[in-house]
Structure 1
Amino acid sequence: MEISRRTLVSAFPAAAAVFAGAGPASAGAAAGPGAAAGASPGAHDRLIGNTVAMFAGTAESNARPEVRAKLAAIDAAARSHLTAMDEAGSGELFRGLPLGTSDGNLNSTFRYLWEIALATRVTGGPASDLQGSAAVQQRVLDGLVRVHDTYYGDQSQGYYGNWFHWEIGISSHVSRTLALLADAVAEYDPGLVPLYIASMDAYLRNGKDGDVDLDSRFHTGANLADITTNRMLQGALLGDDARIGKAVADQRTVYATVDPYRPRHGVTDGFYADGSFIQHDSVAYTGSYGTSLLSRVVQTLKVLDGTGHLPDDGLAAVVRTWVADGFAPLIFEGWMMEVVRGRAVSRTTSGYAAVATVVEAVADLSAHTTGADATALRGYVKFLHETSRVAVDPTGFVSPVSIARYADILADASAPPADLNPAARNVAFNAMDRTVHRRPGFAFALARSSDRISKYEYMNGENLMPWFQGDGAHYLYLSGEDQTRVFGVDYYTAVSPYRLAGVTAPAEARRTIPELYGGLWYDNPEHGFTSSSESQNTYVYFPRGTNTFSGGAALGAYGAAGLVQGDDAAWAAHQDGLLPGDFVAYRNARATKSWFMLDEEIVVLAADVGDAAGRAVTTTLDTRIADPSEAVHLTGRLRDGTRWSGTGAAPPAWLRYAAPGRGTAIGYVFLDGPEPAVALGTVTRSRRTVRLTNPDMAVTKQVFSLGVEQAAGAAPVAMAYALVPGASERQLGGYAEGPLSVLANSARLQAVKHSGLRLVAANSFTSGTHRAERLWIDGRASVIWQEADDGTAEIAVSDPTMVRDTVSVTVRGRAREALAADEGVRVRRVPGGTRIDVTTRRAHGRSFTARLR
C-alpha cells in the first residue's frame, strides 16, 4: 500500500510518542544512558545555530573578501538547481534526475534541496535575492513533502541500490536542510521534522531499533561519524537530549586507538598506535575515508561548542595526534599519497583536493587547542600553503568561517610555517601494510598486502584494474613537481596495470568486474553474493592476500620492509571449492622482496621471482609518466664504463631518467640480476578506462618503463637495484666503488650493507638461523643494525608476520651491554657475542629498539 506522511508516523508508535512533545522537556529527553546531564540551557538552539553558522557562515565571516568566492559558489549552485526544478519533467523534482528506481538520483535530489536551502540562510556578503527568501524556502519544503510522499516515505518501496545513500547520504542532506530551515519548518508544518526523522530511523537498517548499532560492520569509522553527526542534529531538532547524548557517546568510540587483539565491538576500523587508518576492516584508507573522518569529527567539535554536550577530556588532543602521526607523513608538498586512497585513486579529484580537506580540518582544530599544539597546527597549515605545488582552493572548504580562519592563519606572524614531519623520517605503517620514507627532496611510498590487509579496493565501477596495487607498488615523489602530471588518475590511465612501479605480475589479460559479470558486482544471492554482502567484500571489493610476511623495522629515520607476494583470497577460496563455478579468480606470480630505505637511496632486492604456473612474468623496477611535449632524457653507463646506448647484451651499471623542464631526475643502480628492459613511448587512453563514471577524456602521456622480463617457463631469478632520487651522472658512477653491497638475496634471507652509514639491514623469511654479516637472526624477522663513531650501536627488530611471540638476534663479536632498550627487549652476553631477545607477542609489527655499547 502507499504510505502517506501521516500514516508513516503512526507506524512508529515509540517514535511518535517522543515526537509528541516539543522542546527540551519532551518525553525521554532527560532519561536513558545516552542523556547528557551537562547540557546547557538553550543547548538545542545553540547546536542548530552552530550548524547554520558552519555551513552558511556568519555576518562577520561573510563580510570578508576571502569568502566572496565561496558565497558566489553557494548562490550559483542554488540558482542552477532552481532552474532545474523549473524545468523538471514528470517523475522528477529536478531536470535530469528521474526518481523511483535510482537511489543515486534520489540522493542528488535531496542534496539539491539542501544546497538551495543553504543559499537562503547566508547572511552578509554580496547581496542576493535568495538570502532569507521565504518563497524559495517554501519551494524547498514543498519539495521535501513531495519527495517523501512519493519516493521516500514508503518503506516497502525504498532501500534499493547503495545502502550508503539510504543510511548516510540522504539523512545528511535532510538533517541539514531541516536545521537550516528550522524556523520556516515550524511555521510550514511542525510535523515535518518528526515525520522525516521517523523515516530516517526506519532506513537505518544496519542499525538496531532505528539507532546506531556499534556491533554492526556498517557502523564504524567514518561511516559511524557521519551517522552520529546526523543524529546529533536530529536530536537538537526534536529537543531530545537523550538522542544527542547517545550520538555523542557513539561517536566517541571512533577516537579510541584500535587494539587489534582486543577490538571493541569487534571493530578494526579506525586509527592504530602506529598512525595507520583502516576502513572496511582491511583497507588502508587515510587519504579518503580518513579525511572524511577527520573533517566530520572536527565539525562535531564546532557544532557542539557551548552546548554542554562536548566533554572536555582531550578529544581535540587525540585528533591532533592523528594529524601529526597519521596524516602528515602521507602528505608530500600538498599531495595525498596514492597508497592510502583506495578506489579514490581512479577519480579525477586529485591528491591536492584530498589535502584541502585536511587543511580546513587542521585550521579549525587549531581553534580548539591551545599553546604549543595550536601554534604547531597553525604552522602546519602555513607550511602546506607554502609547499603545495597547486594552491589550496578555500572555495572547496565546507564552511565560510573556515575560509576566514584560514586567511587569518596565513596572516599570523606568530606561527611560522613548520612541517609536522622531521626533515628525515621513516614511518612503518605496519598495521595497514604501508611504508613511507621521507628525505629533503623526495618521498617514497610503498603499498604492501597480507592476510590482514587488502591487496586493493574496487567498488561501484571505480578502480577497475586494481589487481597489483598492493603487491609492492611504489610511488616516488620528487620535490618541485606538480604531482597531477606524474601520478593521480592519469598515472593509472596511462600505465598498464601489470606494469605499475615495483610490481611483479604475470603476463595475462585480466577482465574487470563489469566485463566479467555485466554489472558493478558479482550478483549471486543464492551463494551469498549481494551488493554489500561480506562475501562481496571478501572476494570482490577488497580481497586480502594469502601471505603472512608483510612488514618491517624502522630505526630512527631508516627503514626495512619485506613482502612475500601471495595470491588473493579469492584464488585460494576458488581452489578450495568454496566459490561458485562461474566466479573468476586470478592466480598471482611469485616473488620475495625487500626494500631498504636509506638517506640517498632505496635498495630493492627480489628473489624467487617467477611463476609456478609457467607464465611469462614482468617485474617493473619503475614507471614514470610525462606530458607528450616534455623532454625526457635517458642516459647510462655499462659496467666497463662505456656509455649505454639502449637495451643490449651487456647489463648497464646504472641508468638515469631526467625531466629537465621540471629539474628532476631519478637514478637506477643495478647491483645484480638480469639486464633490465627499457621502454619509452607515448600512450593514449580514456580516463574511463579506470572508472566508469569518469569523463570519456583521452589522456596522452609519455610512459617510461624499466623492468625485467621473464619468458614463459623460465626459471625463477633474483635481482638487486637501488633507486636514487635526484642523482647526477657523477653520483651514479660512484656506486661502482660502493658504498652499497648485497649480503644475501634469496627466498630465505635478503640483506644489504651501507658502509658509509655503517648500517646492515636484513629480512629473514623462513625458520632457522640466518646470517647477515655479524647478525645471526632467529627465524622470520626484520632487523636494522647501525654502529656509531663513538663505539655505540643501535638495533631495531620487528616481526613482519605478527604471529611470533619472540624474535632473537645475536650480534657476533665483542660483547656489548644495553645503554637503553624498549620494554620487552632483553640484552645479555652469550659466548661469542651479544644476544637480543625481543618479546613481539601482540606487538602488531611494531619495531623494538635498543642502544648498546
Structure 2
Amino acid sequence: MSRRQVLSLLPAAGLLAVAAPSRAAAGIDHARLIANTVSIFAGTSDVNARPEVAAKLATIVRTARQRLTAMDQAGADELFSGLRLGTDDVNLRLAYQYLFEIALATRTPGGELDDDTAVQRRVVDGLQWLHERHFGDQSTGYYGNWHNWEIGIPTHVSRTLALLADRVRAERPDLTAAYITSMDAFLRNGKNGDVDLDSRFHTGANLADITANRILQGALTGDDARVGKAISDQATVFATIDPYNLQHGNTDGHYRDGSFIQHHSVAYTGSYGKALLTRVVQTLKTLEGATSGGASDLAGVVHRWIADGFAPLIFEGWMMEIVKGRAVSRTTTGYADVGVIVEAIADLADHVEGDGALALKKYAKFLPAADTAAFVSPISIARYAAIRADSAIPAADLNPSERSVAFNAMDRNVHRRPGYAFALARSSDRISKYEYMNGENLMPWFQGDGAYYLYLAGEDQREVFGVDYYTAVSPYRLAGVTAPVEERRTVPDLYGRFWYENPGHPLNFTSSSESQNTYVYFPRAGNTFSGGATLGAYGAAGMVQSDDAAYTAKQAGLLPDDFVAYRNARATKSWFMLDDEIVVLAAGVTGQGGRAAVTTVDSRIAAPGDTVALTGEAWDGRAWQAGDTTPPRWLRYANGTRSTAIGYAFLTRQTVAAGLETVTRSRRVVRTANPDTSVTKNVFTASVAHPATGDLTALAYALVPHATETRLRGYTNGPLTVLANDRHVQAIKHKTLGIVACNVFADGPRHAERLLIDGPASVIVQSAGGRTVVALSDPTMKRDRVTVVLSGAALRLDAADEGVTVRRVPGGTLVQATTRHAHGRTFTATLR
C-alpha cells in the first residue's frame, strides 16, 4: 500500500480510531491503555499460573533482586553499583533499565515481589534522584548517542511510570509531568518537543519507538491529543514506501517487494525490521479495548510483512546475515533474532482475521521451538505454548518449498530449495555497501560486494555463520567477494574514536551528522547496475562492483586531508540461481592502481574437532591435492561430523588456492563491546588470484549444495553452458531446465543464444512443452522500458503482466516491458 492508501484506510482501523483529536476525547480509555501495558510486560494472574510461564517469572524476580543488590552497593554518584553517572549516556540508560526491571517484578502477579510497596518506593525515589541529578537539567544532558536520550531512556521511563502509575501519583504527584517535560525537551531531532515526520531520525523503527513511548505518556496524563497524534504518527510506518512518491522524504520502511530499509540505505529486516515489528504489535496489544473499533486491516499489513519480508530470510529458525547491518557482529544474532519475530507472530495471530491467523499459527509451529525465556511478555509465552500444543494446528512454512526472491529495493537475493538456502548481498548508488557504527562491525568493507551465504539444512548455523564466521574468516575473504590485495584499518584504529571527528569542516563531521552517515557509517556504492529478474522459483542477479561514496568524494577533494578512504577492486558479476546449483560469473576483474585482487569462491568454518575433507579433480582427470597449481575441474568440501558437503564445479580453467587452516581470534576483533572470548575454528577457503598485471580475468563456477563426487563429475559434459562472460554480457544456459539467463550491462542491443536484448537488462527465458516464459527487469531502475527479441518462429501471447507488450517482428517475437518506476520489479510474459 502507498501512504495515500493507508491514509484512506485509517478511519476504518481501530488503531487509528483516535488519530484526530476531535474524536480522541470520546475514543480513548486511558486506564485500559495503561492496564494493557502492565499486562503485556507483567502478565496476569491466570497466565502467570501456567507452568510454561514459571521460568519467565523466575527470571523477572531474579533480575530484580540482582538490581536491588546493586542498588544497595552503590557508591558515590551511583544509583547502582558499577554505573558511574554524569558523563556516560549508556550507564544512565542502564540505570533506568534497572529501575524498570525492579518495578516490573513488583507488578508481576505470582512473583515474590508482587505489590511490594517498599520496593516500589525505592524505584520512585530512584526516578526522582535520577531526574534531579542527571536528566532534568538540559544544560548538562544530551551527551553521547542521541538514541539513548530520545528513545532508550524514555522507553524505560515511560514503562516504569506506567507500571507504578498509582504509586507515583500518590507519592510524587509531579514526577510524571516533570519527566514528560524533560523527555519532550530531549526530543531534539523532533519539532517543538514532538515527533517531526520530516526528520531523518523519526522514521521506521525509531519512529515506532518514539510514538509508542508518547502513547504511554499521554495515557499517564490523560492527554487525548498526545495519544491521538502519537497513534497517527505511528500509523505512517504501515505504509509501503513508494520511492517515486516519498512522503516526508522518507525511504525507511517496507517496500512492495518485501524489502525493509532503515537509515535510508541499509538493508535491515533482521535488526531494525524486527524492532519495528515488535513495536507495532505491542501497540496493537496496548490499544486493544482502549479505542473504538478493530485493527484487523493494519494487522493484515503486518501479516504481509512477515510472509513476504521476514519468512524468506529465515532458514530453519536462523535470521540470515544479509539483513542485519552492523548487528552481524553481535553474539546474540541468528536464532535469537527469530525468537523475537516468533513472539510477534504469536501475538499478531490474535489480531489477524480468517485464514491469515491460522497461517501465522502454522508458521509459528513450523519454526524450531523458540527460547521463550527471551520473550518480553508472559502472555506471549502462554499464547505460543498453546499454539505449539494444539494438535489441530499443522506445522506449515510461509515459504513455498522452492522460492527465489529478489529484494531489489534493498539489493538482496534469497534463493531457497529443500535442503539449502542461498543469500546474496549487493550494493549500489541506492543501497549501502555495509554498515559500521559505535564500534560494531569493525571490518565490514566488502559485505555488500556480492558476499553470499550458503545455508545447509540440519546444521547449527551458530557453528557455520554468525559472529564466529566474521571473527574467524578474513574480511578480505568473505565468500563471494572480490577484494584488492591490501590491508585496511578500522575506524577506531584510524581516528582513536568510534567516528571521524571534524566539526570545523564544511561537512561538519560529528558523531551523528549526515556526513558521518554518508562517508563513515554506511556509505553507498557508486554503481547503478544492481538487480535482476525472477522467473517462478529461478533467479538472476547482476552487479557492477564500484568504489564507495567516501573514496569518490575524497578523489573529488570534498573530504578533509586526514580522512582515510579506500579504493575498491573492480568486477562485473552475475549470479544465476537454479535448482541444484548457483552459477557465479565474474569478468573484468582488477585490483586497480597496480594492485592484485582475489575472488573468494567460498569460506566456511567448522569446529576444530570436526572431520573435514577436501577433495577434487583436475581437468585431465587426475586427483587434485591442496596446494596444487593445476586448475581443478571440481572441488568438494565435506564436513563428515555434520554430514554436509558443498561442491564447486569450475566452468573456466584457473588456478584455485584451496585449503584448511586453524584460526584463533577474539570476538572483539569485530565488535569492541563483545566479550574478549577467543574463538578457534577450522577455516576452509577457496579463492582465485587476479594478478596486478596482465589481461583482466574472467571466471565461472557453480556452487553445488550437498554435492557428491559423482555428481560433480557430471558437470564435465553436464547441463551448464556459459554463453557469455565479459563486462558487457554475462549469460548461461541450463539444457535440462530449458533456461537461458542473461545480464546485459552495456547500453544497446546485445546477443545471447537466440536472444537480442536491449540493455541494460536482466532476462530469464524458459522453454518447455511448447511454452516459453520470459522474465525481464531493469537492474538500473532508470529505464523506461526493457526489450528482448526471441529469434525464430513467431510466438503468440498466452498471458502477460500489466505493462508487457508482445508483437511479431522480422525474424522473431519482441517482448517489451514498461519498467518506468517499477523499482527493479520483474515483468513476465508466457508465449506459445
Which residue identity lines up with residue 460 of structure 2 in the other structure? D
Q: CA deviation at 1:311?
A: 5.6
Question: Counterparts of 2:573 and 2:27 in 1: how far apart (Å)?
Answer: 62
Alignment equivalent of 1:645, drawn from 601, 605, 625: 625
Q: CA deviation at 1:812?
A: 0.3
SS at match of 2:751: strand
Q: Is it true that 1:794 corresponds to 2:773 in the alignment?
A: yes
Higher mean C-alpha deviation, range 636-645 or range 264-273: 636-645
Question: Counterparts of 1:646 and 1:393 in 2: how far apart (Å)?
Answer: 42
Question: Counterparts of 1:484 and 1:737 in 2: how far apart (Å)?
Answer: 37
Q: Deviations over 1:611-641 (max 9, x none)?
A: 2211011100100000001010111112222
Question: Counterparts of 2:386 and 2:306 in 1: how far apart (Å)?
Answer: 20
Question: Counterparts of 1:123 and 1:415 in 2: how far apart (Å)?
Answer: 30
Alignment equivalent of 2:180, drawn from 178, 197, 202: 197
For 1:551-570, what aligned pairs fall within 5 Å after superposition? 551-570=531-550
2:393 aligns to what?
Answer: 415
Question: Counterparts of 1:712 and 1:697 in 2: how far apart (Å)?
Answer: 38
2:502 aligns to what?
Answer: 524
Q: CA deviation at 1:837?
A: 1.2
Contact 2:422/2:452, CA 8 A, preserved across alignment:
yes
2:311 aligns to what?
Answer: 328
Question: Counterparts of 1:737 and 1:541 in 2: how far apart (Å)?
Answer: 47
SS at match of 2:580: coil
Q: CA deviation at 1:370?
A: 2.5
Alignment equivalent of 1:493, drawn from 447, 471, 477: 471
Q: CA deviation at 1:714?
A: 3.9
Indicate how the Cα distance of structure 1 residues 441 and 40 shifts in structure 2: closer, same or farther if over 3 A, else same: farther
SS at match of 2:137: coil
Contact 1:301/1:310, CA 8 A, preserved across alignment:
no
Alignment equivalent of 2:381, drawn from 403, 408, 413: 403
Question: Counterparts of 2:562 and 2:623 in 1: how far apart (Å)?
Answer: 53
Which residue identity lines up with residue 746 of structure 1 in the other structure? D
Contact 2:657/2:686, CA 8 A, preserved across alignment:
yes
SS at match of 1:525: coil
Q: Deviations over 1:740-784 (max 9, x none)?
A: 000000000000000000000000000121111011001200000
Q: Is it true that 1:587 corresponds to 2:567 in the alignment?
A: yes
Contact 1:611/1:716, CA 8 A, preserved across alignment:
no
Q: CA deviation at 1:832?
A: 0.1
Q: CA deviation at 1:242?
A: 1.0
Q: CA deviation at 1:712?
A: 3.0
Which residue identity lines up with residue 664 of structure 1 in the other structure? T
Contact 1:38/1:309, CA 8 A, preserved across alignment:
no
Q: CA deviation at 1:674?
A: 1.5
For 1:71-220, what aligned pairs fall within 5 Å after superposition? 71-124=57-110, 127-128=111-112, 130-220=113-203
1:450 aligns to what?
Answer: 428
Contact 1:551/1:562, CA 8 A, preserved across alignment:
yes
1:372 aligns to what?
Answer: 355
Q: Is it true that 1:232 corresponds to 2:215 in the alignment?
A: yes
Which residue identity lines up with residue 109 of structure 1 in the other structure? A
Question: Counterparts of 1:251 and 1:585 in 2: how far apart (Å)?
Answer: 38
2:688 aligns to what?
Answer: 708
Alignment equivalent of 1:823, drawn from 794, 802, 805: 802
Structure 1, unpaired ranges of 5+:
1-30, 386-390
Question: Counterparts of 1:90 and 1:594 in 2: how far apart (Å)?
Answer: 61
Indicate how the Cα distance of structure 1 residues 815 and 548 shifts in structure 2: closer, same or farther if over 3 A, else same: same
Q: Is it true that 1:806 corresponds to 2:766 in the alignment?
A: no
Matched residue count? 814
Contact 2:64/2:102, CA 8 A, preserved across alignment:
yes
Q: Deviations over 1:531-566 (max 9, x none)?
A: 110000000000000011100000000000001000
Question: Counterparts of 1:373 and 1:190 in 2: how far apart (Å)?
Answer: 45
1:14 aligns to what?
Answer: none
Question: Counterparts of 2:688 and 2:758 in 1: how far apart (Å)?
Answer: 32
For 1:689-700, what aligned pairs fall within 5 Å after superposition? 689-700=669-680
Question: Counterparts of 1:548 and 1:507 in 2: how far apart (Å)?
Answer: 25
SS at match of 2:440: coil
1:64 aligns to what?
Answer: 50
SS at match of 1:138: helix
1:832 aligns to what?
Answer: 811
1:484 aligns to what?
Answer: 462
Higher mean C-alpha deviation, range 439-448 or range 761-770: 761-770
For 1:213-612, what aligned pairs fall within 5 Å after superposition? 213-308=196-291, 312=295, 314-385=297-368, 391-527=369-505, 528-612=508-592
Q: CA deviation at 1:392?
A: 1.7
Higher mean C-alpha deviation, range 763-772 or range 455-464: 763-772
1:767 aligns to what?
Answer: 747
SS at match of 1:628: coil
SS at match of 2:518: helix
Indicate how the Cα distance of structure 1 residues 447 and 149 shifts in structure 2: closer, same or farther if over 3 A, else same: same
Question: Counterparts of 1:158 and 1:300 in 2: how far apart (Å)?
Answer: 29
Question: Counterparts of 2:293 and 2:156 in 1: how far apart (Å)?
Answer: 23
Contact 2:667/2:677, CA 8 A, preserved across alignment:
yes
Which residue identity lines up with residue 472 of structure 2 in the other structure? A
Contact 2:295/2:351, CA 8 A, preserved across alignment:
no
Higher mean C-alpha deviation, range 650-659 or range 461-470: 650-659
Q: Deviations over 1:423-445 (max 9, x none)?
A: 00000000000000000000000
Contact 1:610/1:714, CA 8 A, preserved across alignment:
no
Q: CA deviation at 1:310?
A: 6.5
CA RMSD of aligned residues (A): 1.2
Q: CA deviation at 1:649?
A: 3.8
Q: CA deviation at 1:123?
A: 0.6
Contact 1:616/1:714, CA 8 A, preserved across alignment:
no
Contact 2:28/2:224, CA 8 A, preserved across alignment:
no
SS at match of 2:82: coil
Structure 2, unpaired ranges of 5+:
1-16
Q: Deviations over 1:28-73 (max 9, x none)?
A: xxx9974262666771000000000000000011001111111111
Which residue identity lines up with residue 819 of structure 2 in the other structure? T
Contact 1:610/1:715, CA 8 A, preserved across alignment:
no
TM-score, normalising length: structure 1: 0.94
Question: Counterparts of 2:297 and 2:402 in 1: how far apart (Å)?
Answer: 29
Q: CA deviation at 1:738?
A: 1.3
Question: Counterparts of 1:812 and 1:576 in 2: how far apart (Å)?
Answer: 46
Question: Counterparts of 1:514 and 1:69 in 2: how far apart (Å)?
Answer: 41
Question: Counterparts of 2:63 and 2:628 in 1: how far apart (Å)?
Answer: 59
Q: Is it true that 1:782 corresponds to 2:765 in the alignment?
A: no
Question: Counterparts of 1:779 and 1:79 in 2: how far apart (Å)?
Answer: 66
Question: Counterparts of 2:406 and 2:489 in 1: how far apart (Å)?
Answer: 33
Q: CA deviation at 1:676?
A: 1.0
Q: CA deviation at 1:654?
A: 0.7
Alignment equivalent of 1:736, drawn from 697, 704, 716: 716
Question: Counterparts of 2:44 and 2:18 in 1: how far apart (Å)?
Answer: 35
Over 6 Å off, 4+ runs: none
Question: Counterparts of 1:458 and 1:583 in 2: how far apart (Å)?
Answer: 16
Q: Deviations over 1:777-797 (max 9, x none)?
A: 0120000000122x0110100
SS at match of 1:781: strand
Indicate how the Cα distance of structure 1 residues 38 and 205 shifts in structure 2: closer, same or farther if over 3 A, else same: closer
Question: Counterparts of 1:86 and 1:256 in 2: how far apart (Å)?
Answer: 48
Q: Deviations over 1:322-359 (max 9, x none)?
A: 00000000000000000000000000003000000000
Which residue identity lines up with residue 114 of structure 1 in the other structure? F
Question: Counterparts of 1:335 and 1:365 in 2: how far apart (Å)?
Answer: 20
TM-score, normalising length: structure 2: 0.97
1:17 aligns to what?
Answer: none
Q: CA deviation at 1:645?
A: 2.2
Question: Counterparts of 1:796 and 1:99 in 2: how far apart (Å)?
Answer: 60
Question: Counterparts of 1:500 and 1:57 in 2: how far apart (Å)?
Answer: 45
Indicate how the Cα distance of structure 1 residues 245 and 735 shifts in structure 2: closer, same or farther if over 3 A, else same: same
Which residue identity lines up with residue 256 of structure 1 in the other structure? A
Question: Counterparts of 1:611 and 1:733 in 2: how far apart (Å)?
Answer: 33
Contact 2:629/2:656, CA 8 A, preserved across alignment:
no
